[in-house]
Amino acid sequence: MSTPDQGVRAVGVVYPGIFDPLEPPPTSAENPITASKAYLGKTLFWDEQMSSTRTVSCGTCHRPAAGGSDPRSAIAGTQKINPGPDGTFETLDDVFGSPGVPQNEIDGTYSWNALFLV
Residue 118 lies in a domain: no
Q: How confident is the model at residue 42 (pLDDT cuts 50, 70, 90)?
A: very high
| Domain membership flag for residue 48 | yes
Task: Determine which of 1-5, 72-76, 94-98, 112-116 has the lowest per-residue pLDDT on average.
Answer: 1-5
- 50 or 5, higher pLDDT: 50
The answer to whether residue 92 sits within a structural domain is: yes
pLDDT at 24: 81
- 64 lies in which domain range? 35-96
Rounded to an integer, the average pLDDT of 75-93 is 67
CB of 3 closer than 8 Å to CB of 39: yes
Count how many domains the chain has.
Answer: 1
Residues 109, 103: Cα–Cα separation, whole Å: 9
Whether 7 has a pLDDT exceeding 90, the answer reads: no
Residue 27 lies in a domain: no
